[in-house]
């Protein structure tokens, strides 16, 4: 079965065309169904494609010389959207020329362009940035929001929970993913008014395809006993970077320790299979591909420093979300919420969405 084309912003990321095209080619070697619309400087893309003959019949090039820089303000990037590779990749999704867009470029600009071009789904006030993170168990945990919205009210957090659960069902296969709100403690009295109100609404909601299990602290995110962690973008981004920094610290500490003496070097050789497994598990390229949930279309953000393997994973995320109809799943869950009932202040009433 063929999939809709994936538009790739070939100019985005730290190394641009070479890595983006190599990543797309690697993804296609793993999945021959993938087809691409490569957006960017035609001459540079063609030169990169010379190294990947498997891409010739699967790719079309949309020439564009404009590039969004890493330090460009979103407002400035918006004004140039129709003349940049990032903007045209998103526009291809809007026009139906591609099913999804993948970019490793400026996150703020990508969010602003995606929201303006694709708009949010009915029932969603704000899109959220979601990513998969490794756990001690078999399945990854979905975490959102990771920086798209620094301030969120209870309504936003409830919507994030619904979107995150829909994503998690695709990843884990669970009919009702376990959802928790990120908080400074697990007691019901802990946290801001927004968190407590969101928890109250999620506990009272009926008919949702999720299991709300209260709060989770940051040190428990990767333990494997939660499928979706919901947060405002400010707290979520801090937690994400703290976890990523801790992972790098551990790997760097192990490298230093194993090089410290001859005995340590011998110990490294003995334990190498275990350390390689650890390195693979903590490598962000193996979990690359954050998703803007809540838009009328699929947009995936790759790490700017991602390798070709990382880009390939981001492409695979986009393809899987298309194949599993993520947008349609979220819409169905929102409709279910609209038909459900919440109990607020002891009174039952319909849940309001932005479409109502």
pLDDT at 340: 42
Q: Which among 182, 140, 180 is positioned nearest to 282, based on CA atoms?
A: 140
Mean pLDDT of the chain: 84
* Mean pLDDT, residues 258-269 taken together: 68
Domains, the chain, with CATH or none: 1-119+295-323 (3.40.718.10), 122-287+325-356 (3.40.718.10)
Q: Return phi, psi of residue 131, to 5°.
A: -145, 160
Q: What is the DSSP string of 64-81?
A: --B---TT--HHHHHHTG
- Is residue 260 pLDDT above 80, yes or no? no
pLDDT in tens, 10-35: 998 888 899 999 999 999 888 888 89
pLDDT at 352: 37
Q: Which residues have a Cβ under 8 Å from the Cβ of 219 and sit 6 or more positions away?
A: none
* Mean pLDDT, residues 216-221 taken together: 91
Exposure on the CB side of residue 326, measured as CA atoms within 13 A: 29
* Mean pLDDT, residues 304-309 taken together: 86
* Mean pLDDT, residues 294-309 taken together: 89
Share of the chain above pLDDT 90, in %: 40
108: preceding bond cis by omega (within 30 degrees) = no
Q: Which among 78, 43, 79 is positioned nearest to 63, based on CA atoms?
A: 43
Q: What residues pair up with 142 in beta bridges, in sequence order?
A: 132, 228
CB 77 within 8 A of CB 68: yes
- Is residue 321 pLDDT above 80, yes or no? yes
Rounded to two decimals, the pTM is 0.82
pLDDT at 255: 73
pLDDT at 90: 95
**Burial 298-319, CB ≥16 within 10 A → b, else e:** bbbbbbeebbbbbbbbbbbbbb
pLDDT at 344: 40
Which is more confidently placed, 280 or 141? Answer: 141
pLDDT in tens, 130-169: 988 888 887 889 999 888 888 899 999 999 999 999 999 9
* Mean pLDDT, residues 60-73 taken together: 90
* Mean pLDDT, residues 93-118 taken together: 92
pLDDT at 279: 58
Q: Return phi, psi of residue 34, to 5°.
A: -70, 135
Q: What is the DSSP string of 307-331?
A: -HHHHHHHHHHHHHHHHTTHHHHHH
């Amino acid at each position: 079965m063929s999939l809709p084309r994936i538009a790739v912003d070939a100019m985005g990321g730290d190394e641009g065309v070479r890595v983006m095209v190599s990543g797309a080619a690697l993804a296609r070697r793993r999945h021959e169904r993938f087809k691409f619309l490569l957006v960017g400087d035609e001459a540079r893309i063609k030169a990169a494609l010379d190294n990947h003959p498997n891409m010739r019949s699967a790719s079309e090039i949309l020439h564009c010389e404009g590039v969004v820089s890493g330090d460009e303000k979103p407002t400035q990037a918006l004004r140039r959207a129709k003349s940049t590779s990032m903007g045209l990749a998103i526009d291809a999704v809007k026009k139906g020329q591609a099913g999804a867009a993948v970019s490793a470029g400026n996150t703020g600009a990508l969010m602003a362009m995606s929201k303006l071009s694709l708009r949010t789904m009915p029932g969603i006030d704000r899109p959220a940035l979601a990513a998969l993170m490794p756990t001690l168990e078999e399945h990854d945990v979905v975490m959102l929001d990771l920086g798209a919205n620094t301030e969120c009210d209870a309504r936003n957090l409830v919507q994030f929970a619904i979107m995150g659960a829909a994503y998690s069902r695709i990843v884990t296969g669970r009919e009702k993913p376990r959802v928790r709100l990120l908080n400074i403690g697990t007691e019901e009295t802990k946290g801001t008014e927004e968190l407590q109100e969101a928890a109250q609404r999620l506990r009272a909601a009926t008919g949702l395809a999720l299991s709300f299990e209260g709060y989770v602290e940051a040190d428990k995110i990767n333990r494997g006993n939660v499928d979706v962690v919901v947060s405002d973008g400010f707290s979520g981004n801090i937690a994400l970077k703290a976890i990523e920094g801790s992972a790098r610290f551990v790997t760097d500490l192990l490298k230093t320790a194993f090089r410290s003496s001859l005995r340590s070097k011998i110990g490294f050789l003995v334990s190498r299979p275990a350390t390689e497994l650890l390195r693979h598990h903590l490598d962000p390229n193996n979990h690359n591909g954050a998703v803007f949930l809540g838009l009328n279309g699929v947009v995936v953000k790759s790490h700017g420093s991602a390798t070709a393997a990382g880009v390939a994973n981001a492409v695979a995320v986009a393809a899987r979300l298309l194949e599993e109809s993520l947008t349609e799943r979220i819409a169905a869950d929102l409709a279910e919420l609209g038909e459900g009932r919440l109990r607020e202040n002891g009174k039952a009433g319909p849940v309001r969405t932005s479409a109502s």
